[in-house]
Amino acid sequence: MRLALWTALRGLRARAGVLAITVLAVALATATALTVPLVTRQIERGAQDAAQVFDLLIAAPGSATQALTSSLFYLDTPTGNISEKLYEELRDSPGTRRAVPIGLGDNHLGFPIVGTNAAFFDQRLRPKDPPYFRLAQGQIFSGEHQIVAGARAARESNLKLGSTFKGAHGLEERETEEERGSAQHNEAYTVVGILAPTGGPVDRALLTPIETIWEVHGQDTPATRQVTAVLYAADQLAGVYVTAQRVNAGREAMAVFPGQVFAGARDVLAQGQAAYAGLSLLVLGIAALTVWLGVHSATVERQKTVALLRALGAGRSTVFGLVLGETLITVTLGVGLGLALAVLLSGVGGTLLGDRLGFTLAPPQLTWTLAVRALALIPLGLLAALPPAIGAVRVSPLRHL
């Protein structure tokens, strides 16, 4: 066995070019099979973490997914507005722990200006936990046109305590100076606080009292005031379902359970992942074929070496082990490199997607389920090496001496 291993290592060293190509092919196949599932799981975890601080989202009727992506992640156009009266009814209902208004419609350099109230900063993952949002500098707003900036919005907009700026109408930054000037509001905002990073979408937000949004958009009377959505939490779980039923029984608004939206999105992703898994198997099969071609060409090249080993007394098992040993080393190197490459690519991809989506994605987690998918290439490669190994055993040493 030692002789076979020693010979296999010497043979691989002599064919370093072929070895590198085969290892690279196996590594790329492994990374292809794992990168998308790893990134998908990062997105799922990041999205769920961002929605943990409230139980229910109340928004105008329409797409539940659109309501969530607009009012929670600030990535889409809202489904509409609901009246201040409905918000106050939710706030004052028995069993309500917290009802937080959200008002959208303006931006600064592409960062959303979000109207809300002081209850926003009292949101908690669990009732006994400390507030989810913490100030890194300054204080919570206490008057109109004051801003508490999210960590990323402050950093990328170069906002500091005392900084002033004018908001622009719309949810996206205008492309030209003329467009920005025509969309800009007259009233200036002043930064009074900066939040500590959370890794969530609020890092991109510029938070101001909801009264500011009403004033800027001319909603001067209670009858005209509107909010984009309400983040709702109840004292008891039963209260959440009662409120959802009451809201959905009317026509003005809809109640959205974030968990249900994520579950639906997960089902869609699962269907896509099933198709991707089939493609991954095809890619792994191509990698196995590459291994077979490498082993076959190496077998042809090593015929004189095999004949010499047999003439020196090496048994058929040694020759058989030589071929399988080279294959095992090659595929193991490729799979190991592929696993590292998959984690690296998914980490980079997660960072880029997180910047695009507006929340930080957790580092990729390589689970055993995914690892086994890649490790399965090792026995698959050995299976591909069986025909050349059997052929090497059957060849008479006298033909090549």
Q: Are residues 153 and 280 in the same domain?
A: no
Shared-domain flag, residues 217 and 344: no
Q: Please tell me whether residues 96 and 234 are part of one structural domain.
A: yes
- Confidence at residue 357, expressed as pLDDT on a 0 to 100 scale: 65
The Cα angle at residue 10 between residues 5 and 15, in degrees rounded to 5? 125
Residues 14 and 118 in one domain: no
Single residue among 195, 225, 256 that ends a domain in this structure:
256
In sequence order, the 6+-apart residues with CB closer than 8 A to the CB of 74 are: 104, 112, 114, 171, 201, 204, 205, 358
Q: How far apart are CA 349 and CA 39, in angstroms?
A: 7
Q: Do 363 and 59 contact (CB within 8 A), yes or no?
A: no
In the listed set 256, 281, 298, which residue is the last one of a domain according to the structure?
A: 256
Q: What is the pLDDT of residue 299?
A: 61
Do both 27 and 76 map to the same domain?
no
Is the domain of 118 the same as that of 202?
yes
Query: Residues 94, 213: one domain?
Result: yes
So what's the pLDDT on residue 147?
96
Written as six digits, the tokens of 230 are: 């309400």
Number of helical (H) and strand (E) elements in the chain, helices listed first = 13, 12
Residues of the chain with pLDDT under 50: 1, 3-4, 400
Residue with tokens 């109207």: 115
Kindly state whether residues 224 and 307 are assigned to the same domain.
no
Same domain, 142 and 100: yes
For residues 9 and 16, give the distance between their C-alpha atoms in angstroms, rounded to a whole number: 10
Instruction: List C-alpha distances in Å: 104 to 146, 219, 227, 364, 367.
Output: 16, 13, 8, 33, 39
The model's pLDDT over 330-386, given as tens digits with 9 standing for 90+, comes to 888 888 888 888 888 888 877 776 666 666 666 777 777 777 777 877 887 777 777
The tens digit of pLDDT for each residue in 92-139 reads 999 999 999 999 989 998 899 999 999 999 888 777 888 888 999 999
**What 8-state DSSP symbol labels residue 172?**
S
Looking at the structure of the chain, the number of domains it has is 2
Same domain, 163 and 275: no
Residue 73 and residue 135 share a domain: yes
Question: Domain boundary at 256, 280, 296, which?
Answer: 256
Q: Is 132 exposed, middle or buried (0-12, 13-18, 19+ CB in 10 A)?
A: middle
Identity (one letter) of the amino acid at 356? R
Half-sphere exposure of 372 (CA within 13 A, CB side): 3
- pTM: predicted TM-score of the whole model, two decimal places: 0.70
252: domain range?
Answer: 56-256
Query: Hey, CA dihedral for 92, 214, 144, 69, is it positive or negative?
Result: positive
Claim to verify: residue 219 and residue 311 sit in the same structural domain: no
